[in-house]
Structure 1
Amino acid sequence: MDKKNALGAFAALSQETRLDVLRLLIKAGENGMLSGEIGAELEVRQNTMSTNLSILLNAGLIRNKRQGRSVRYYADIEGIRGLLGFLMDDCCGGRPELCRPLFDEIAGAC
């Protein structure tokens, strides 16, 4: 992930509802959640939720799949790994191998 994409991801996560959505979808795992389920769980109106989901999609942090008339959303683990990797690239005084076990543990948990 490059700096521009990382800034987009951070901007997407700088709003409370969107951060809650991402955390909820990470928790939902491979089953994901329907957009209506996400809105109901977080008590957010449909049109507001739609906007927030779109922003997270554009930031590469979530993905979706149409199921008939509904849309199911999932945490985009590769996008999240890309953001974590961007953060960890220069860690530990320029020795990222020292931080690698932490990154691998976080990524493995997903």
Structure 2
Amino acid sequence: GIHFGFFYLAEYLNLFIVAGVASLLFFGGWMPLHIPGWDAFNNVMDFIPSTLWFIFKAVALSFVIIWFKWTFPRLRIDQLLSLEWKYLLPINLANLVLMVIVVCYGLHF
């Protein structure tokens, strides 16, 4: 029983580490949420310490990952590969082409 418990503890620890790295790379890490034009809101957000921002973002991303894992059933490897090759790869390539067009033509907003 204890080995099984350590296995799940290590799995969720790994999940939180991945969420922390993803929050650092993609969600601004320790930086507070700022909305342009909302000066009062931005001033209130600046009072929250940066460590709490990082922990909140990592926990929120961990929640989303856990929610996704618990919502969908376990898939076989052939189902995962089919999903990857039939749907995710074409969407990924279309996204790549779209971003190249946006950057080349300066369509930033």
TM-score (norm 1): 0.29
Higher relative contact order by CA 8 Å / sep ≥ 6: 1 or 2? 1
Q: Which structure has greater helix proportion?
A: 2
Larger Rg: 2
Q: Which has the higher strand share?
A: 1
